[in-house]
Structure formats: structure tokens, C-alpha cells
Structure 1
Amino acid sequence: MNNSTILLIILSFVIALLLALFQYVYKAKKVASRNALIALRFVSVFCALLLLINPKFESVTYFEEKPNLVIAIDNSESVAYLNQNEKAKTLFQNLVENKDLQNKFNIETFKFGDDVSTSDSLNFDDNTSNISKFFKNYNELYSKSIAPIILISDGNQTIGNDYQYIASKSKQPIFPIILGDTTTFSDLRISQVNANRYAYLKNKFPVEIIANYSGNQSVSSNLTIRSGNVVLFSKRLEFGPNKTSFIINTNLNASSVGVKTYRVEISPLDNEKNKVNNYKNFAIEVIDQKTNIALIAETIHPDLGAFKKAIESNEQRSVEILKPKEFIASSKDFQLVMLYQPNTAFKAVYDKIISQKLNTFTIAGSTTDFNFLNTNQNNFTQDITNQTENYQPILNVNYGTFIVDNITFENYPPLKSDFGAVSFKIPEETLLYKAVNGFNTEESLLSTLEAEERKHALLNGEGIWRWRAQTYLDTDSFETFDNFIGKLIQYLSSNKKRRRLNLDYKSFYNQTENIIVNAQFFNKNYEFDANANLQITFRNKDTDVSKTLPLLLKNASYSIDLSSIAPGDYVFTVKSNDEPVSASGTFKVLEYNVEQQFLNADVSKLQSIANSSGGKSYFIEKSSSLIDDLLNDKRFATIQKSKRNTIPLIDYKYLLGLIALALSLEWFIRKYKGLI
């Protein structure tokens, strides 16, 4: 409270006292109960003046803050495969229920496998283990607090970045409890098979195989690649203590169209304990042609590289970046022409597009010549203002031309676009709207158009390379953005007629992948129907077992997750229960359980993160001392903290009550004494 406020309070005290004395001493010299009335009048006036001054008081409260203790347990199948699941569950419960730990720490529990979540139940059935994702989430949640980690795991990670590097950023002690032992066995395994997802008919496709050996003796084994019962490749490998791995490269023939499944196998040793990791299946989809796309530009821009990378992430597609003159001279058959910021140099390009009836994707920006563009194509016109603006994207959730999922554009940077509206001359559907400072202008940023059996798209903005970069920052992968561009390109490069029921799925999946089937259903006017009743019936060709399940609405599509189905070949049909509309497809699920590839815990990595973080590692059989170590560790002391609050007097509600009480008593006394 400053000096001026104190002076005002003193002045208020004097004024209130003078007013009370004036009322009941000077003005009325003989009043019954005069002292009580003076006191009541003084209190009411003084309190009212205090409320007008509204002085502020500081209050200090003290509290104790216990350190956090994060207990994270591996919920993947490898824990059960190493026969450590019951021991791990018992230890986890003992730690969580320990009263001494509860008194010293705020205990937070998590489980990790495919994802990271609170440990409400443990079943050890996740088919992948992403330890790095747990550490990434941990670093975000507990970066500014004391929070040692108890990590109950075998240390075997099957997806994600190297958790040893991410754990080093936590700056908190890590106490791994190792599920397993250091016993080693002789083991041959296929560690990795690298092959493209697609191959082209009558071509050879490369296959790279990494085979590893653990053991102390010299051994030999045959490595084979089979397609059904036919051996396509065979090689004898000699392993030993000084030669523990081989990288084998070969080329196989793509002789027929379709999904082809292959099995890489290395013959097991006589005394080998784990034979699950001696083979690995992979598949190739053989296609008879590649989608060729021309990306025409007069200038160099980062957008060109972003488009090329995103489109060619699907091996079915090839992009050539050409100057307008190079495109005119080319005799190549293109299924789609992308026009980047067209100007007068594109005159002959448009003539060729019209004569060959090609599909187009126009990308406009700050250097686009809209006078030229408005007169050389009949799909749209742009208002010419010679001014630019930065527009952020807003997704049209009702867009129904193709399925858009797993991307929201919420955090994406703006694109530079001409200020002015676009008028479309042919039927269009807006995929992205322009927004300024979060306000939707309802003008098109990205639209698709169809007319005369040709397809077109207009992206009215430059700088899309920033979107691809933002995707990587958000997800540590370009996949989400690349899939979005891939679906747009797939739609534009195809001349198939529009159907009321469209499906989106892969031709084959690995067993560890999410097996998602998406569908879009349109009414007779080709408007997306959000009230459709769709179901899928799928059948395993090998077992002839079929099942029918409903599809659930998600954003602007219907989807179902079939990740729990067994490996095999499947045929499926999606149909509407209300109308005679259906669509069918086939896919293959490849057998591969990555969590059964390990014989031992990764002891060295778990011990490394413990030592580097100032923690300590324990084998589960010898983890009884962990609780005492945590309780006696002086780094994890309870901290007394204070909180200082500045509270204005007007927040004290009882002061109003005191004023009301003083005025009421004064009125009753005056009334009782006959002064009113």
C-alpha cells in the first residue's frame, strides 16, 4: 500500500468522524443513545469512503509441493512374449500402492505401446512399442518440475525415433526396471527387408535384406526368397563372432499385374530358441503403367520441390518440372498438367492442353498474370486488384469429391494470394476457404472443378512448401501432407466417372499397420450424405470366415478400423442399407509380429539412459531396493512455496454487510427513540 493511499484513508477517517459528530453533537445536542449513533454513523461513512478509495492488501499463503513420480510401463506384446507380464504388473501395482511413496510423491502413471495413455488397465497386447513417444510427451508435461521416472520396460522399441536421444533431453533421473535378463542365445534373424511398394510390369525390382546373427560359434545357413512354393533366390551365408551380419541385394521379376507376396527366410539353427524372427513377408503391387505429371513453371520456387516430393512419395507417380517451351516440345503422354503461376509464356501450353483435352491443376500467386489467365481458359475468372494478401486455410468439412482425413490445416501458415474474388464458370466444389485473422471470407483458396469429362483444380496461393514443413513440425513426418496432395493428384489424373460410393484403402497392409477403410456416400444430387447407413462385409479367403460391421461417420467420410483381423487375403463390400448402392475391393494383410522378434531385453540401452540421467537401473528380480533409493534420495525433497496475492478491498464482501448493518441499526435506534 503506497503513501498516497494511507493519507486518503486517514483523511476518510477524519471526514467520517467529523460527519458523525456534526450530525449527533453539533446539530442535535441532546440525543438519546448519542454515542451509539455516532459510532454507527462513523462506521457506515468510513466504510463507504474506504470502498471508494479501494485500497489493495497483499496476502501471503504458504503450501508444500511434493515432487512428481512418473511410473511408465511397457504395454506391448514383447513383454508377454518374454514371460515378464505378470511380474511387471505385480511390480507396477506395488509401486503405485506403496504408502511411503504416496506420502513423498505425487504419483502419475502411464502406459505406452502403440500410443501413450494413462494406465487404467494393462493387457500387454499392443503390437508395437513407441518408447520415444512417451519421452516426448513426458518432456512436454514435466519440463518445469521435479519428476523422476520409473520406466518398466524391456527396452525393445519397434517404431519411433531413438528413445535414448529423446530421454537425454528430460534432465530428470530415470530409473529403468529391466524386464528380462542378460542371458544370450544363438540366434539367426531377418532384421529388415527393404523393397518398394510398387513395381512395373515386366521390370525388375530391387530387394535388400539384412540378416543378423547372435552367438559365439561359426555357423552357416541358407537364405531364400519364395513366392508360394517357388524359390526365386537362394544364397548360403557364413556367420561367426566376427561376421554377425550380411546385406543381401537382389532383383526380382515383376511378371504379372497385382499384389504379389514374397517370403524371405533364413534356415534356423538346430538349437535356436526363437524361430519367429527367421522369416519375414513382404509384398509388391505390380502395376502396368506410371502416372506422368508435368509441372510447368517459368521461375524457380520452393513450391515446385514441395509438390514434386509430395507427389512422388507415391511410387506410382512421376513429376517432370518443365519450362513452357520444354512442355510444348515434349512428346510424352501426361495424365495431368500442373501450371505454376501462368503468364503470357504459357500461351502455347494452354493451346496444347485444350487440343489434347488434358486435366489441369493451376497454382496462382503473386506473380501470376491474371489478365492472361482470365482470357486463356474458360473455367474461372479472378478479380484484378494488383494487391496481395496472406490467407490462412480453412477446411470445408462438407467437401465430398474425395476423402480428406487426418489433416485439419489449423496451424498451417498463410499463403500469399491476390486480393479479390474468384468467379467460377463451371461446377466447382471448394476444398479450402480463405481466412484472414481467423475470419472465414468464404472465398476459394483451393477448389476442384469438372466439365466436359475433364477435371481441374485451382490453388489460389503460393507458399505451399511451408505447409509441408509445418506437417513435419507437427508430426515428425511429411506423410499427412503428402497423402493430402496424393489424393488430390489421384483425383485430377483419373478420368473415371464420379460414383455415389467411393472407397479409400490400400491394396495390402502389414500386420502392424492400422487397417483403415474409408468411404464417402453421396445422394442422387452428388451431395455428401451425413445420414447414410453404411456397413462393410469382409471375408478371409483362406478361412472363408466373414463378418459384417457398421461404418462410423468421421468428419466428411465414413470409416472403420480393421486392425485386429488376422493375416490373409480379404474381399470386402461396402453397401448402403437404405439404397441399392455398393462398392467392393480386395486387400491383403501380411503376417509379421514385430514384438516377437526379440529374445532379450535391450539391457545396454536402458542402463545407458539411467547412467546419463543420474538414475539407476534395476533388473526386475532385484528391484526391491528401488523404493528405499527413491525415499532416501535428497534430490526429491518436498518444497515449501509461498503465493503472494494482491486483493482489492472491494473484493471483501463482508464490508458491504457491515455498512448495511450499521445503517440498519442506526435507523432502528432513531425510530425507537422517536427521532424519525
Structure 2
Amino acid sequence: MTSETVIYITLAAITALILALFQYFYKSKLNSQLKLVLTVLRTISIFAILLLLINPKFESFTYFDEKPTLVVAVDNSESVIYLNQDDRAREVANILLNNSAINERFDLQPYHFGKSVHSLDSLNFNERQSNIALALTQLGDVYADQTAPIVILSDGNQTYGSDYSFMSQKVNQPIYPIILGDSSVYSDLSIKQLNVNRYVYLKNKFPIEIIANYNGNETINTELKIWSGNSVVFRKVLQFDASNNSEIVSTALMANSVGVKTYRAELLALDNEKNKVNNLKNFGVEVIDQKTNIALVYDRMHPDLGALKKAIESNEQRTVLILKPVDYLSTINDFQLVILYQPNHNFKQVLKSVYDQKLNSFIISGKTTNWNILNGSQTYFKQKITQQTENFQPNLNPNYETFIVENLNFNSFPPLESEFGALEILVPHETLLYKMVDGITTEDILLATLEDNTTKHAVLNGENIWRWRAQSFLNTNTFNSFDEFINKLVQYLSSNKKRKRINIDYKSFYNGNDDVIVSAQYFNKNFEFDDTASLSITLKNKDNASIRQVPLLLNNGNYRVDLSGIEPGDYDFTVKHNLESVATSGSFQILEYNVEQQFLNADISKLKSLANTSGGEAYFPTESELLIEHLLSDNRYKTIQKSIKNIVPLVDWKYLLGLIALSLFMEWFIRKFNGLI
């Protein structure tokens, strides 16, 4: 309470007393006792009312103790059980979580992690990948404003994500690794990495690069073989010793037939080798008959051209040539799709050829587009010409039905610049993206696909799509999501297949640790997307004839099923509607490979480095009691007494209102009783 408020309260008390004395003592004929009682009651009433007008504020404090947090994160990946450390991990986790002194000193927060982080309920060590960097980052973010040391039980073998060696710079907490694994050094051969293109072309040779490693001190000889079925298609003798412990082997194989072809790279094992799993690696390639050739026709240089070429050619089945209009006209029959970038007066003959020959096209407009020529060269759409441009942000149409589109967080994308005015499409079409202005979605088209008899077309009404690709990278640290979006659009435009009531999206083969996701869209008889359908997938393993049926669930506008974890092999599948005779089929192959079984030891050096740089300390499972003693004795982890300050205005004090009412009532009653009213 300020000194100014105290002065106001003093003046209010004096004023209340003076007014009461004036009323009941000045020229009053009442007896002295009655005067005194009425004066006190009137003084109380007036003073209380004046206090409400002044409304002084009072402070109150609530004190409480806040214990530091102790985060316990357990690596739940398969590598822990493969190194025979699962029982030790459970034992150490139980010792920490059930220690009475630790529970009294810390607020325990247990987690387990693999590819993602979850609250600890049970440990089964069946996660197919481990992302230590993600676990440390997320836990560091959650407890950034607290004192929260992190105890991590792991073998240090990360198979997914960023290198966790540098996480101490981002996680502002001491980290205490408990190292799960054998510190002994064994002689071991391994295929550290194998690089090969996913797609190859018929009758072409495709390159293979294999990095072979040796861990040991003796001089040894081994042989690298590449198998295709039961036949050896490549072999090379390798020699390693303590100083020469790695070799890069490059070769090329011929693609002789179309389809998915699988191979196996193998290093001949040592006599006393403990881990032979990492001597083998299966890999596959998909042999295709020919590339899809796409012409990107332009008359003005723009960053969009490079972004489109990069995005489309991220799929090795496609080649993009950037051509001037006159060059395209001389090679028009070499392409399955033409992209017309900002057509102007130089595109007049190109537009006529595309329309007359009924070619599929993708038209991208911008501020230099000549809409008079573009409107007059075809009958598919008309743009209102205003000679003004405006920036429009994209908004995804969730009911788009032509092909499966994943939401790229379009609302975060920068705006595109295009002609101000509505685009009217005169043939059957589907709007993929609407224009959005100042956060309000309009009905104007930003991106749409359309069909006219046997031809397919798309119109993007805006330039600067290169900024979308850049923003996609900022959002996800990869261009993949944007590139996949563009490739799905290109795949639709470059194909003349008729629409199906069930569209499916999947890969022809998956590596052993890939997420096996199959997506589908279902349309009713009017080709309208149906989000109430009951779809299921019937999966048949061609190797053992086993069959399983799994429902598809609606997720972000698509039906999806996650088949991750099924055993390697060849599979046929059918996605069908459970109440109608509508179905579509496909097949894929899962290659045998378990990245969690590639390790022979714990990564002790990296875990110790992580502990040292973060201000923590590394321990082995047998030293868990030392860790507990360290945590209990470390002065950084003390219980802190905190207080909460509450400021309460007098007007919120309900008892004062009651006092005013009571004093006024008693004054009225006494005066009434004595015949003064």
C-alpha cells in the first residue's frame, strides 16, 4: 500500500467522523449514550463507503517448495535387446524410479524413446529405429525453464535423425548417460553404407557404391560378393589391417528386365566374428522402361524454373528440359507433358500446337503473362483482365478428389503474385488451392486441374513458387514434401489413365526399416470424395501365402494404413470397400534389413563426450548407486522455496459490503425504535 493511499484513508476516516458528529451532536437533543452509538454506526458506514471509493490494494504471499525435476529417458530400440542389455536397462530404470531418496529430492519424469518420445509405461525394446537427438531436443524444450538433469539409458547407437554429439549446445541441462553395452573390442567386418539409385532404366548399367569397414588389429582377407538370387554377379577380394580399415568399392550392374530387382551384398565373415548380421545388406532397384520427358517452356528467366526442375527431377523417372518456345516446337514429339511458364506473345504458336494436338499441359501464369493471347488460344478457361497484380496466399481444398494430396502446411507458404481478377474454368475441373487474402479464403482459383475429353491440364495462377519450396525446407528441413506434391501433380498430368473410384498411393519396394504406408481415396458413383466409407486392405505374403486384413483409417483427408513392422517378403494387396464391389490392387516388396542389429558395441566415446560437454557424467549400469549419490550431493539440484504474490483490491472483499449493510440497518433500527424516523 502506497503512502498516498494511507493519506486518502486517513482523510476518509476524519471526514466520516466529522459528518457523523455533525449529524448527531450538532444541536441534537438526544441523550449522550444514544448519540454515541448512532455516531459510531454512521462513522462506520461513511468510512466503509469512502474506502470502497479509494479501493486500496493489499498484498498476500503464498510460499511453496519446488523440487528439481529428474528426467529418466530409456532407449526402447531393438539394439538394446540385441546387445543383451534389456534386463540391465529395466533393472537400472527400476532402481532410479523406486529409490526413496531420489523421489524425495526430485520430481521424477520417466520416458522411453525410439524414433519418437513417449511417457514410460512399459519397456519392450521393439522400436525399429532410435533417435537420441530428437529425444534430447524435445525433453530439453519441455523442461527448458526448470532445473531438470536428464538421465538417459542407451547404447548410444543412433539410427535416425541428427547427430546427438552436439545436442549439449541446444539442451541447457546436465546429461547423465548410463551406457548400455559391452566395452570390449571385437574383430568385426561390416557394410557401413551402400549407395544405389532407386530407379534404373532398362538395358542401362546402374552404379553401386559399397563402403566396407573392418574393426580389429590383425591383417585379414575377405571377399565382397553381390548376389542376385542364387547367382553371384560381382565379387572382389579385400584386405584390411589396423591402419587400412575401410574401403570404398564401386561397380555397375546391367538392368536386363523391367520390375523390382533385389540384390544382396555380403562380406565373407571372419572365423571368430561375433556379429555377422552387419556383413549383409539387401538392396533393390526398380527397372523402368523409359523416363517421362517433360518440357519446361519459358521466355523469361525466373527462379521458379530451377525450383520446378529440381522438384520434378527428384523423381529419377523424370527428366526436365528447359526450352525457349522456338526450341520446343522443333522437338514437340519428344515430350509427354509440357509446362508453359508465363506465356506471352512468343508462345502463340506453342499454345496453338498444344491445343490442336491435344497435349497435356501445365500452365503457370504471373505478372508478365499475356492473358489476351492465353484466353484466345484455348477454350478451357478465361481470366478477367485488369492489368493489375496482387499477392495471394494458398489455401488447400480439403475436398480435392483427383489425386491424394498431403497437407504441406500451405497456410505458412509465402504468397504468389498473379493477375487481380477471377479465373473462370469452362470445363469440368477440381480446385486444388484457393486464393486467400488477409487470412480470408476466397472462391477464386489459385491452382486447379481440369480434363477435356482425353487431355488433362493444370493452371497455377501465380509466380514465385520457388519460395514455396524454400519455405517447405524451413518447415521440415527437407525439400521432400514439396517435391512430392509437385511430382504427384506431374504424374497425374503425364498419365492418360482413366479415373478410378479408389486411388492408392504406395511404393514398389521398401527397405526393412522404412515406414510402410499405403494411402487411398474413395469416390462415390458421382466421383465425389466420400469420408464415411469403410475401407480395408487385404495383404497376402506371396512367400508363405499368409493373409491378413487391416482397416484403413481416415487421416488428413485420406484413408491410410501403417503396415510398418511386417516381415520382409513379396506382398500382393487389395484395397476394397467393405459394402460395395469396388476394389483396386497392387504389390510391393519389403527388403530384409534391420539397422538396429548392425552394432557390436555401445558408442561409449560419443556418450561420454555428450556427458562432458553438458556438465554431466557417464556411468555404466553397475555404477547406478554412484549416479544416485552424485545426484543427491550435487548442489545444483536443491529444492527452491518460491512464493506467489497476490494483490487483492478492497472492492473484492465481500465482508466490507456486509459491514456497510449491517451498520446502516442497525442505525435505521435504533432510530426507528426511538421514534426518530
> In which range does the TM-score fall when normalised by the shorter chain?
over 0.9
Q: Which residue of 2 aligns with 1:409?
A: 410
Instruction: Give the Cα–Cα distance (whole angstroms) in 1 for the partners of residues 37 and 675 of structure 2.
Output: 15
Structure 1 residue 622 and structure 2 residue 623: aligned? yes
Q: Which residue of 2 aligns with 1:237?
A: 238
Q: Which residue of 1 aligns with 2:93?
A: 92
Instruction: State the secondary structure of the residue aligned to 1:488.
Output: helix
Instruction: Give the Cα–Cα distance (whole angstroms) in 2 for the partners of residues 28 and 325 of structure 1.
Output: 114
Please state how far the C-alpha of 1:465 moved relative to its aligned partner.
2.3
Alpha carbons of 1:662 and 1:249: their partners in 2 closer, same or farther (altered >3 Å)? farther
Please state how far the C-alpha of 1:46 moved relative to its aligned partner.
3.2
Structure 1 residue 261 and structure 2 residue 246: aligned? no
Instruction: State the secondary structure of the residue aligned to 1:535.
Output: strand
Moved more, 244-253 or 483-492: 483-492
CA contact (8 A) 1:295 1:322 kept: yes
Q: Which residue of 2 aligns with 1:581?
A: 582
Instruction: State the secondary structure of the residue aligned to 1:73.
Output: strand
Instruction: State the secondary structure of the residue aligned to 2:274.
Output: coil
Please state how far the C-alpha of 1:110 moved relative to its aligned partner.
1.9
Instruction: State the secondary structure of the residue aligned to 2:146.
Output: coil
Q: Which residue of 1 aligns with 2:421?
A: 420
Please state how far the C-alpha of 1:69 moved relative to its aligned partner.
1.8
Instruction: State the secondary structure of the residue aligned to 2:559.
Output: strand
Instruction: Give the Cα–Cα distance (whole angstroms) in 2 for the partners of residues 590 and 466 of structure 1.
Output: 37
Alpha carbons of 1:446 and 1:215: their partners in 2 closer, same or farther (altered >3 Å)? same
The letter for the 1-side match of 2:430 is E
Alpha carbons of 1:149 and 1:343: their partners in 2 closer, same or farther (altered >3 Å)? same
Structure 1 residue 110 and structure 2 residue 124: aligned? no
Q: Which residue of 2 aligns with 1:531?
A: 532
* 1:229-280 Cα distance to aligned partner (Å, 9 max, x none): 1111111111111111111111111111111111111111111111111111
Instruction: State the secondary structure of the residue aligned to 1:635.
Output: coil
* 1:625-646 Cα distance to aligned partner (Å, 9 max, x none): 0011111112222334444454
CA RMSD, aligned part only? Answer: 2.2
Instruction: Give the Cα–Cα distance (whole angstroms) in 2 for the partners of residues 29 and 499 of structure 1.
Output: 105
Q: Which residue of 2 aligns with 1:558?
A: 559
Q: TM-score, normalised by structure 1?
A: 0.95
Please state how far the C-alpha of 1:619 moved relative to its aligned partner.
1.2
Moved more, 568-577 or 340-349: 340-349
Q: Which residue of 2 aligns with 1:222?
A: 223
* 1:307-366 Cα distance to aligned partner (Å, 9 max, x none): 222211111111222232332233452222222222222222212211332222222233
Structure 1 residue 173 and structure 2 residue 194: aligned? no
Instruction: Give the Cα–Cα distance (whole angstroms) in 1 for the partners of residues 388 and 196 of structure 2.
Output: 49
Alpha carbons of 1:532 and 1:625: their partners in 2 closer, same or farther (altered >3 Å)? same
Matches within 5 A, 1:270-285: 270-285=271-286
Instruction: Give the Cα–Cα distance (whole angstroms) in 2 for the partners of residues 373 and 39 of structure 1.
Output: 93
Please state how far the C-alpha of 1:473 moved relative to its aligned partner.
2.4
Q: Which residue of 1 aligns with 2:346?
A: 345
* 1:419-463 Cα distance to aligned partner (Å, 9 max, x none): 322222112212222223332223222221112222122222333
CA contact (8 A) 1:447 1:457 kept: yes
Alpha carbons of 1:342 and 1:124: their partners in 2 closer, same or farther (altered >3 Å)? same
Matches within 5 A, 1:26-65: 26=26, 29-30=29-30, 33-65=34-66
Q: Which residue of 2 aligns with 1:606?
A: 607
CA contact (8 A) 1:225 1:264 kept: yes
Q: Which residue of 2 aligns with 1:517?
A: 518
CA contact (8 A) 1:406 1:480 kept: no
Please state how far the C-alpha of 1:305 moved relative to its aligned partner.
2.2
Instruction: Give the Cα–Cα distance (whole angstroms) in 2 for the partners of residues 538 and 569 of structure 1.
Output: 10
Alpha carbons of 1:406 and 1:374: their partners in 2 closer, same or farther (altered >3 Å)? closer
Moved more, 428-437 or 311-320: 428-437
Moved more, 300-309 or 204-213: 300-309
* 1:77-132 Cα distance to aligned partner (Å, 9 max, x none): 00011111111112112212222222322222221112112212211100001111
Alpha carbons of 1:12 and 1:446: their partners in 2 closer, same or farther (altered >3 Å)? farther
Instruction: State the secondary structure of the residue aligned to 2:528.
Output: coil
CA contact (8 A) 2:140 2:173 kept: no
Q: Which residue of 2 aligns with 1:437?
A: 438
Please state how far the C-alpha of 1:8 moved relative to its aligned partner.
4.3
Instruction: Give the Cα–Cα distance (whole angstroms) in 2 for the partners of residues 639 and 142 of structure 1.
Output: 16
CA contact (8 A) 2:137 2:170 kept: no
Matches within 5 A, 1:80-159: 80-159=81-160
CA contact (8 A) 1:400 1:556 kept: no
Instruction: State the secondary structure of the residue aligned to 1:160.
Output: coil
CA contact (8 A) 1:207 1:251 kept: yes
Alpha carbons of 1:347 and 1:105: their partners in 2 closer, same or farther (altered >3 Å)? same
Instruction: State the secondary structure of the residue aligned to 1:303.
Output: helix
Please state how far the C-alpha of 1:14 moved relative to its aligned partner.
4.0
Instruction: State the secondary structure of the residue aligned to 1:625.
Output: helix
The letter for the 1-side match of 2:359 is L
CA contact (8 A) 2:364 2:460 kept: yes
Structure 1: gaps spanning 5 or more residues: none
Q: Which residue of 1 aligns with 2:653?
A: 652
Please state how far the C-alpha of 1:299 moved relative to its aligned partner.
2.6
Instruction: Give the Cα–Cα distance (whole angstroms) in 2 for the partners of residues 435 and 657 of structure 1.
Output: 57
Moved more, 139-148 or 28-37: 28-37
CA contact (8 A) 1:109 1:118 kept: yes
Instruction: Give the Cα–Cα distance (whole angstroms) in 2 for the partners of residues 442 and 2 of structure 1.
Output: 59
Moved more, 655-664 or 494-503: 655-664
Instruction: Give the Cα–Cα distance (whole angstroms) in 2 for the partners of residues 672 and 271 of structure 1.
Output: 112
Matches within 5 A, 1:189-228: 189-228=190-229
CA contact (8 A) 1:180 1:620 kept: no
Q: Which residue of 2 aligns with 1:13?
A: 13
Instruction: Give the Cα–Cα distance (whole angstroms) in 2 for the partners of residues 141 and 524 of structure 1.
Output: 49
The letter for the 2-side match of 1:20 is A
The letter for the 2-side match of 1:213 is Y
Moved more, 72-81 or 342-351: 342-351
- Count the aligned residue pairs: 676
Moved more, 73-82 or 300-309: 300-309
Q: Which residue of 1 aligns with 2:309?
A: 308
Matches within 5 A, 1:440-589: 440-589=441-590
CA contact (8 A) 2:141 2:171 kept: no
Q: TM-score, normalised by structure 2?
A: 0.95
Identity over aligned residues, as a percent?
A: 58
Instruction: State the secondary structure of the residue aligned to 2:636.
Output: helix
Instruction: Give the Cα–Cα distance (whole angstroms) in 1 for the partners of residues 2 and 511 of structure 2.
Output: 72
Alpha carbons of 1:45 and 1:414: their partners in 2 closer, same or farther (altered >3 Å)? farther
Instruction: Give the Cα–Cα distance (whole angstroms) in 2 for the partners of residues 28 and 377 of structure 1.
Output: 105
Q: Which residue of 1 aligns with 2:390?
A: 389
Please state how far the C-alpha of 1:26 moved relative to its aligned partner.
4.2
* 1:11-30 Cα distance to aligned partner (Å, 9 max, x none): 44344334434444448652
Instruction: Give the Cα–Cα distance (whole angstroms) in 1 for the partners of residues 177 and 557 of structure 2.
Output: 44
Q: Which residue of 2 aligns with 1:636?
A: 637
Alpha carbons of 1:331 and 1:484: their partners in 2 closer, same or farther (altered >3 Å)? closer
Q: Which residue of 2 aligns with 1:294?
A: 295
Structure 2: gaps spanning 5 or more residues: none
Please state how far the C-alpha of 1:59 moved relative to its aligned partner.
4.2
* 1:28-49 Cα distance to aligned partner (Å, 9 max, x none): 6528844444334333333333
The letter for the 2-side match of 1:627 is I
The letter for the 2-side match of 1:392 is Q
Instruction: Give the Cα–Cα distance (whole angstroms) in 2 for the partners of residues 662 and 327 of structure 1.
Output: 98
CA contact (8 A) 2:355 2:377 kept: no
Instruction: State the secondary structure of the residue aligned to 1:634.
Output: coil
Please state how far the C-alpha of 1:74 moved relative to its aligned partner.
0.5
Alpha carbons of 1:656 and 1:430: their partners in 2 closer, same or farther (altered >3 Å)? farther
Q: Which residue of 2 aligns with 1:164?
A: 165
Instruction: Give the Cα–Cα distance (whole angstroms) in 2 for the partners of residues 288 and 43 of structure 1.
Output: 100
Please state how far the C-alpha of 1:616 moved relative to its aligned partner.
1.0
